[in-house]
Amino acid sequence: MSGKHSERANGDNQSAGRIVIETPTKQDGAALWRIARDSQKLDLNSSYAYLLWCVDFADTSVVARVDGEIVGFVIGYRRPTDPESVLVWQVAVDSSQRGRGLAGTLLDDLFGKLVDSGVRYLDTTITPDNEASIRLFSSFAKRWNATLERSRLFDVDDFPDEHEPEDLFRVGPLSSARRPQ
């Protein structure tokens, strides 16, 4: 998977330009880190981690650009114990683009490509109180006519700091025949 994936019109007159979804490059790492930092909701990883994701996990990640600027991303990786599954590590959308369905569009675009390479499941972890993420992945499952299963992955006691528990959400099986239009 490389290069541009898709384009769509941006429905907001205040944000001119088309949204272009494509594979991230090393040069995108700093922008991903800034969007995650500015969200004030995501667990912020080191800037080094975002650079690595853009290089080592580019095939399982996408970025959205408007007028050349990154306004959103999905980063994920193939799970070593389950090569038919991609774990979505983070989804982030710049505040200028929130509320327009961009996160769902990014997920649909990414998994539209990944199912063609044998991916059958989307996995992600979500804290039990993160209603926005629960809605995002529930909507994804509905659009893809797939099952969503939820189970506890990490308890509070598993973390060395004050972190909430993390539930594993598994969506699938995914297939080209079930791809949203």
Q: What is the pLDDT at residue 14?
A: 45
The label of the residue with tokens 């080191």 reads 46
Q: What is the pLDDT at residue 149?
A: 98
Of the candidates 50, 55, 63, the one whose C-alpha atom is nearest the C-alpha of residue 6 is 63
* DSSP structure string for 82-142: EEEEEEEEEEEE-GGGTTSSHHHHHHHHHHHHHGGGT--EEEEEE-TT-HHHHHHHHHHHH
Question: pLDDT by residue (tens digit) across 44-86?
Answer: 999 999 999 999 999 999 999 999 999 999 999 999 999 999 9
Mean pLDDT of 80-100: 94
Q: What is the pLDDT at residue 42?
A: 87
Entry pTM: 0.89
Per-residue CA distances from 64 to 25, 73, 125, 142 (Å): 12, 6, 22, 23
Mean pLDDT of 141-166: 95
Look at the chain and count its residues.
181
Residue 129 near residue 164, CB atoms below 8 Å: yes
Average pLDDT of the chain, as a whole number: 91
In the structure encoding, which two tokens stand for residue 59, read together?
């095939």
E strand or H helix that includes residue 125: strand 121-126
Band of residue 3 on the pLDDT scale cut at 50, 70, 90 = low
- Listed in sequence order, the residues at least 6 apart from 42 whose beta carbon sits closer than 8 Å to its beta carbon are 36, 90, 92
What domains, with CATH codes, occur in the chain?
19-178 (3.40.630.30)
Residue 120 near residue 23, CB atoms below 8 Å: no
